[in-house]
Structures are given as structure tokens and as C-alpha cells.
Amino acid sequence: MNKILRNIIIALLIAIFSSLSTLGIIYYLLGFNQQGFFNLMRFVTAYRFIELKYVNQTDDINLIDGAIDGMVKSLGDPHSNYLSPKMYQSLKEQTQGSFAGIGVVMGMDNNKNIKIVAVMEDSPGQKAGLAEGDQIIAVDGTPVTEMAFDEVATHVRGEPGTDVVLTIMRDGAQQDYTITRDNIKLKTVGHEMLDNNIGYIQIVSFSEDTAQEFMDAYTDLQNQGMQGLVLDLRNNPGGLLGACVDIAKNLVPKGDIVSIVDKDGNKEVYSSDLEQVQYPVAVLINKNSASASEILSGAIQDTKSGVIIGETSYGKGSVQTILPMMDDDAVKLTIAKYYTPSGRSIDGVGITPDIEVKLDENSTVDTQLDKAKEVISQQINNQ
């Protein structure tokens, strides 16, 4: 071996040893153990093998994105996923209350089917003929079984004026719907005064403006002489915890609203300072009521500040947080579970209504709402 070759080999060995030492120091400082360092080296080895030997050209960003995506998917948690820049932007738009899309609310049933649970009035989806209960089979030809739920929502959204093709299953038959996206301003709260001075407030999701929208509706109904309240959380998939807690402070008496416990047992409690519940309250839920809507209905149920009517809710009792990455992407990860004031975890179980009323989908009569009005009327009369 000549001197030049020997020097090159020595230099390479020094570089490798230096890199390993540096990685080892970084891992030690970050608190990782020996197994963690070993796993990192497995990843680096696979990454370099693909980069150097794969027969076609590789894209470093796609390789890393795929690795992160696969790592999160390996958790087997449908609520944790990697958010590409497009998906992350869509999520931020959704929680801000405005986005470009087709104006439908989607949910996942117990069989993991993705269905349309609400269609916004005068939206592109409504104009195209989409209806509540439609099952989404594919988006632009890609089966939804190949995508996480958030990915489906992201692919449905897009730039105003662009088209998206949804393959819909309805009554056993499939049909493609071509829908032109538009700017959607999501009004999350609707309200009206029903007979017998019963106020009605519907919350379709919890976004940044929802608490203020609720207060505006609540105040308007008070000014009209409200004596009881029906709160409709059916088909509400959840949203921002802060908005849910702010609303609960007007409906739940002094004490706990919800507690959140992480993997280390650390507990964070959100509470209400309301001295007394002002009106009889009935809350409507169904199998598509999830997350923040279950927090609110669970708090009302546990504190006996209202009656829960309808069907058992979805059962999403976990808390997610967003970790922004360095390329306008992010990781959404389940970091804790929430518990109702009595200490219940409803994850995978749901909220069981105090009064179970099933809705006949073949009838135009809203039996759940009718039952809520009956219960509130009786409470008003008893006062």
C-alpha cells in the first residue's frame, strides 16, 4: 500500500470516527441511550445506501419526508401524522376559520370510512349535489384508503377556481363529482329562538372565532328572552381546545372542565369560575361528535349542568400538538389524554347520552331535537 492511499484511508477513518463521536455526543446531550444511538446509525446507513446505490435519481427531501411519515405511521395512531407543507397550511387555515375548498365537513365512522357529515349552505359542495352521509371513496382518483384522514382533507382543499373530483358512494352506487373550489368562510355557530323561549345554538366546529361567535349568539338569545338552551354538537369533529374551554366557562359551574395528563403523569386542569348555571341546558350529540365537542358535553354531563341527548359520541379522548419542522412542514402527535371532571377517559368509548334517541335517517322529523325541546320545556315549567 503506497503512502498516499494509506493517508487517504487514515483520513477517512478519522472522519468516520469523528462523525460517530459527534453524533454520540449530540445523542448524549439530548438524553438518548445507547440503543437510540444504534437506531440512528441504522437510519443513516439505510439513507446512505439508498442515496448511493438506488438505480434511479433520488431526492433527499423526499427521502427524509418519507422517513418521518413512516416513523409517525408506525405508531398506529390515526390522530398522529406527518403534515407536508400543503397539509400544514390547510390545518392552519381550518383552525383560523377560513380556507379554500368545497364547503363540506368530513368525519370517520367506526369502520374507518370517510363520510360527509355536513354540507355548508350555498357552498361548492352543495351546488355540485353532495349530501350528508355520502361516503368518499377517492379524491382525484386516489383511493382514500391510501391516505390518512388529514391527507384526504388536504387533497379536497386547494386553490380557488381549481377542480377536485370526488368519487362518492351513495345507496350502493358510485359516482364521480367534479367540484370547483372556492374561498370558504367557515361560520362555526348558528342560532335561533325556538318555541317556548328555548334558545338553539349549533356549533359545527371549534376554531379561533368560535368562542366569540358563541357569545354573540348567546347574548342575542338572552336579549330575546331565552329561558332554556339547546346546544347542538352533532357532527362536530372538534377543533381548538381553547375555544371549547371558553364556551364551557358559560355553561359549566365553578370547578373542573377538563384535565389533560401526559405520558409522565403531568396534569393540566382547565376550570370554570361560573357561580351558577343560568338556564336549563340540553346538549345534542351523535356518533360524529368528537374531541372538543366531547370535552364540552362530558363536562356538562359530569357536573349535571345539562342533559345529554342523542347517540354515543365518537370517542376521541386524546390531545394532539403540532411540532413545526424546518421546511414549512410539521408533525402532529398525540401527547396526552383528556379526562372529564369526574376523571373519565372517553378515548375509544365516547360520551353515552343521558337520554338515548336515535335519528331516523329516512324521516324529515328531527326526533333528537324534539326530545331536547320537550326536556327543556318541562324544566322551564318546573321552575
Write out the catalytic residue numbers: 291, 302, 316
Supply 163's cell numbers: 377542480
Q: Let me know: does 329 contact 65? Beta carbons within 8 Å.
A: yes
Residue 278 main-chain phi, psi, to 5 deg:
-85, -30
CA angle 259, 264, 269 (to 5 degrees): 15
Residue 120 main-chain phi, psi, to 5 deg:
-70, 140
Q: Let me know: does 150 contact 87? Beta carbons within 8 Å.
A: yes
- 346 CB neighbour count, 10 Å cutoff: 23
Closest CA to 210 of 331, 106, 95: 95
In whole angstroms, what is the distance from residue 258 CA to residue 293 CA? 12
The residues, ordered by sequence, that sit 6+ positions from 105 with a Cβ below 8 Å of its Cβ are 116, 117, 118, 119, 120, 204, 205, 235, 237
Which residue(s) pair with 355 in the sheet?
Answer: 309
CA angle 104, 106, 112 (to 5 degrees): 160
Supply 209's cell numbers: 372565532
Q: Let me know: does 170 contact 207? Beta carbons within 8 Å.
A: no
- Amino acid at the residue 336: A
